Chain A
Amino acid sequence: MDKSIEVHNLTVSYHSKPVLWDVDFTLPKGKIIGIVGPNGSGKTTMLKTIMGLLDADSGYTEIFGQPLDKVRERVSYVPQRESVDWDFPADVMDVVLMGRYRKNNLFKRITKEDRRIATEALEKVNLLEFAHRQISQLSGGQQQRVFIARSLAQQADIYLMDEPFVGVDAATEDAILKLLRDMKNEGKTVVIVHHDLQTANEYFDWIVLLNTRLVAAGPKEEVFTKELLQEAYGGRLTVLSKLGDIIGSTEFPLREPEFKEDKAEE
């Protein structure tokens, strides 16, 4: 299998309370992949850790067989729509152009080429006529499409999207789905955090079922079974979550630091 993302024995805590326990999986290239699980199952934490926004207590992740820093320009990230203040003074084009920002052009002006790429991205999400609309005046679905356009403007090979289907209208949902399939046909990999079981089966080729620990990962036909879904959604694991509370409130180190070093060297 051609690998896109590898996650190795990953344990992550949030406010020193563990939300992912020893998760380990490998994802293929050129597929639409869903990270699926109930609320509070660590899906967003998973994505943020892969993107280097959160530090792991132990374990590590690799993209295209390399650490993130080596392949950053091939990776694109779409945060949750609610994570930003849409009242910020900017228009649609301003936000999409942010997808062209790079470490090596931080101090340079935006080029014509950047504008061309951003315009193309807007066209792909059907928002060209809104290019100079204030972002505060957009509907939820339009805001989501702006974020996706910004991500397209990055011209990456792998796209990580956090709940892009939440709070969008049917037209946006269709537009996003069509876009995802086009991207897949171009050989891109798309990883999507998604909480809705009803639609997961229809949207994705490959599914990672998560509930604090890894329940299953694989082609959807193998993962979308009654038993596994029951396991992921059938109530929280009481012992595990109690243990998490204890660790969170008593400052236990989750792993000895040396242990982490060993893992990283493997």
Chain B
Amino acid sequence: MDPIFLKVVVGTTLLASSSAVVGTFSYLKGQSLVGDAIAHALLPGVVLAFMLGDGRNPAYLIFGALVSGLIAHYGIEFIQNRTKLKSDTAVSLVLSTFFGFGIMLMSVVQQRGQGQQAGLERYLLGKAAAITMLDVYTFSALALVLLLGVALFYKGFQLMTFNEDFAHAIGLPVGLIRVTFTVLTVLAVTIGIQTVGVVLMAALLITPAAAARAWTKSLPQMIVLAAVFSAISAILGTLISSAITKMPTGPWIVIILGLIGFTSLFIAPEKGWLFKRKRALENRSKTNRENIMKLMYRQEEKCGTGNKLSIPQILSIRAMREDALRVGLKDLKKRLWIIEHIDGFALTDLGRIEGRRVVRLHRLWELYLTERLGMAPDHIHPQAETMEHVITPEIEALLIKELGVPERDPHESLIPYENE
């Protein structure tokens, strides 16, 4: 394998996954924007270090970035504590001021014609391909510091994120924990912007955590998963950008990370959009089914058992969409709850039990509303229309018990029970 390529892959993977580990805590603290602000705020520090020191030595630049990032972080906290500004305002204020100052300094450097411009510009948009062997060593060391830091402070970070007051109350050194977290965040951002630049840095901190959160409910798993997602993105991003000429590495890493993030939000179990959508559809067809069964059961109450109903007859009793009705009837036939005769649909014995159940729930709930919540009988029907689909067998049993196995609903209709 190409040694230059290998070098870049190792560098970006280390950068990306160590940022993801620290970013997990920022994400959980609801401070997604702070990383973005710090990334922008690093610029003046980096440029100053470049002007005053040796532009090619990463140690100078990292030191400059660290100082500038810390000032920005405490600037944000100071504004939040001492003024009535909301935190997003404080973050934007610091972000834009520092970034503006950084850009200004950069143009000064440009006018002075201070040679190695490339060294500076990579902080703006990132330039992974320019990673040198010295960089790789430096980043590896920093990534190691980050991982060790998080491992050592795991309990502190966990409790600080979940319940800072409690950490304080049990006498943990909250100040030390916070400073450590801040330094680690600034370090992560400092080494991260080498690859993706100031502008895209927030993605490297937050996206892996957001993606990982969709898949797991355990903090250690979430941290590992975020790091893995980042590593995959870094490797794929580097592969793509080296396979296609003139493709930048940083943006590709961020795009792949974004894809992983969106896919996770979309397909993840329980929290994913797909899962919720499926559940909503299932509920809708259940509601549809139960409405038809209720209608047919009530029609049997009026006209006698075995009463048949055609589609136009059903539609004349209850306004519903014809296509929905047809789908519902097909579903019910499959469940053997109804039979289709030439002159209409009739309930089967199985279907009658289901229809009776829905009608019973409707009437029980109406009775509960009037008896327990003191609602007037002419106001309760719409509520009951919804609740009859929601009430579970356990709640049904509770309702019956609490109402003392009532005979009639508030409209004097019989409440139908099984085994009668």
User: Measured between C-beta atoms, what is the minimum distance from B215 to chain A in Å?
Assistant: 11
Chain B residues with CB under 8 A of A85? 30, 162
Contact A98 B171 (CB under 8 A): no
B204 on interface, CB distance cutoff 8 Å: no
A1 on interface, CB distance cutoff 8 Å: no
Chain B residues with CB under 8 A of A94? 219
The residues in B between 165 and 219 inclusive whose CB is less than 8 angstroms from any CB of A are: 165-173, 213, 216-219
Q: A79-B163, A98-B163 are in contact. Are A52 and B169 (CB under 8 A)?
A: yes
Contact A101 B155 (CB under 8 A): yes
The residues in B between 146 and 173 inclusive whose CB is less than 8 angstroms from any CB of A are: 152-153, 155-156, 158-159, 161-163, 165-173
A257 on interface, CB distance cutoff 8 Å: no
Q: CB < 8 Å: which of A89, A107, A154 contacts B152?
A: A107
Measured in the bound complex, the distance between the Cα atoms of B217 and A125 in whole Å is 23
Chain A residues with CB under 8 A of B165? 48, 51, 53, 77, 79, 83
Contact B161 A154 (CB under 8 A): no
Contact B172 A103 (CB under 8 A): yes
Q: A88-B162, A91-B218, A107-B152 are in contact. Are A77 and B169 (CB under 8 A)?
A: yes
A169 on interface, CB distance cutoff 8 Å: no
Contact B28 A88 (CB under 8 A): yes
Contact A72 B170 (CB under 8 A): yes
Interface size on B, residues (CB 8 A): 26
Contact A79 B166 (CB under 8 A): yes
A239 on interface, CB distance cutoff 8 Å: no
Contact A106 B217 (CB under 8 A): no
Complex interface bits, A68-103 against B, C-beta within 8 A gives 1, otherwise 0 = 010011010101000111001111001100110111
Complex interface bits, A33-77 against B, C-beta within 8 A gives 1, otherwise 0 = 000000000000000100111000000000000000100110101
Contact A103 B166 (CB under 8 A): no
Contact B163 A83 (CB under 8 A): yes
A134 on interface, CB distance cutoff 8 Å: yes
A126 on interface, CB distance cutoff 8 Å: no
A119 on interface, CB distance cutoff 8 Å: no
Chain B residues with CB under 8 A of A79? 163, 165-166, 169
Q: CB < 8 Å: which of A77, A83, A95 contacts B170?
A: A77
B62 on interface, CB distance cutoff 8 Å: no
Contact B171 A102 (CB under 8 A): yes
User: Measured between C-beta atoms, what is the minimum distance from A193 to chain B in Å?
Assistant: 14
Measured in the bound complex, the distance between the Cα atoms of B169 and A84 in whole Å is 15
Chain A residues with CB under 8 A of B155? 101, 106-107
Measured in the bound complex, the distance between the Cα atoms of B69 and A71 in whole Å is 38
User: Measured between C-beta atoms, what is the minimum distance from B330 to chain A in Å?
Assistant: 36
Chain B residues with CB under 8 A of A73? 171
Interface size on A, residues (CB 8 A): 30
Measured in the bound complex, the distance between the Cα atoms of B220 and A91 in whole Å is 12
Contact A89 B170 (CB under 8 A): no
The residues in A between 97 and 121 inclusive whose CB is less than 8 angstroms from any CB of B are: 98-99, 101-103, 106-107
User: Measured between C-beta atoms, what is the minimum distance from A5 to chain B in Å?
Assistant: 14
Contact A84 B171 (CB under 8 A): no
Q: A84-B163, A88-B162 are in contact. Are A106 and B156 (CB under 8 A)?
A: yes
Measured in the bound complex, the distance between the Cα atoms of B217 and A91 in whole Å is 8
- Please give me the residue from chain A that is nearest to B168 by CB atom: A53
Measured in the bound complex, the distance between the Cα atoms of B169 and A69 in whole Å is 10
Chain B residues with CB under 8 A of A95? 162
B142 on interface, CB distance cutoff 8 Å: no
- Please give me the residue from chain A that is nearest to B219 by CB atom: A89
Chain A residues with CB under 8 A of B347? none
Contact A72 B173 (CB under 8 A): no
Contact A89 B28 (CB under 8 A): yes
Measured in the bound complex, the distance between the Cα atoms of B155 and A98 in whole Å is 8
Contact B217 A101 (CB under 8 A): no
- Please give me the residue from chain A that is nearest to B212 by CB atom: A89
Measured in the bound complex, the distance between the Cα atoms of B167 and A77 in whole Å is 10
A136 on interface, CB distance cutoff 8 Å: yes
Q: CB < 8 Å: which of A69, A134, A154 contacts B217?
A: A134
The residues in B between 209 and 240 inclusive whose CB is less than 8 angstroms from any CB of A are: 213, 216-219, 222
Measured in the bound complex, the distance between the Cα atoms of B166 and A99 in whole Å is 9
The residues in B between 68 and 83 inclusive whose CB is less than 8 angstroms from any CB of A are: none
Contact B217 A53 (CB under 8 A): no
User: Measured between C-beta atoms, what is the minimum distance from B276 to chain A in Å?
Assistant: 16
Q: A106-B156, A106-B173 are in contact. Are A89 and B163 (CB under 8 A)?
A: no
User: Measured between C-beta atoms, what is the minimum distance from A253 to chain B in Å?
Assistant: 16
Chain B residues with CB under 8 A of A134? 217
Contact B173 A90 (CB under 8 A): no
Q: A69-B171, A106-B173 are in contact. Are A90 and B159 (CB under 8 A)?
A: no
Contact A98 B218 (CB under 8 A): no
Contact B217 A102 (CB under 8 A): no
Contact A101 B222 (CB under 8 A): no
Measured in the bound complex, the distance between the Cα atoms of B213 and A83 in whole Å is 21
Measured in the bound complex, the distance between the Cα atoms of B170 and A91 in whole Å is 20
Q: A102-B171, A134-B217 are in contact. Are A89 and B222 (CB under 8 A)?
A: yes
Measured in the bound complex, the distance between the Cα atoms of B159 and A84 in whole Å is 11
Q: CB < 8 Å: which of B162, B172, B218 contacts A84?
A: B162
Contact B169 A53 (CB under 8 A): yes
Measured in the bound complex, the distance between the Cα atoms of B246 and A236 in whole Å is 71
Chain A residues with CB under 8 A of B213? 89
Q: CB < 8 Å: which of A84, A103, A150 contacts B173?
A: A103
What are 15 A-B contacts with C-beta separation under 8 Å?
A48-B165, A73-B171, A75-B169, A77-B170, A79-B169, A83-B165, A89-B213, A89-B219, A91-B218, A95-B162, A98-B166, A102-B171, A106-B153, A136-B217, A154-B170
7 tightest Cβ-Cβ pairs between the two chains A and B: A77-B169, A72-B171, A89-B219, A51-B169, A84-B163, A88-B162, A134-B217
18 further A-B contacts with Cβ under 8 Å, apart from A51-B168, A51-B169, A89-B213, are A51-B165, A52-B169, A53-B165, A72-B170, A73-B171, A77-B170, A83-B163, A84-B162, A85-B30, A89-B217, A90-B162, A94-B219, A98-B158, A101-B155, A101-B172, A103-B171, A106-B153, A106-B173
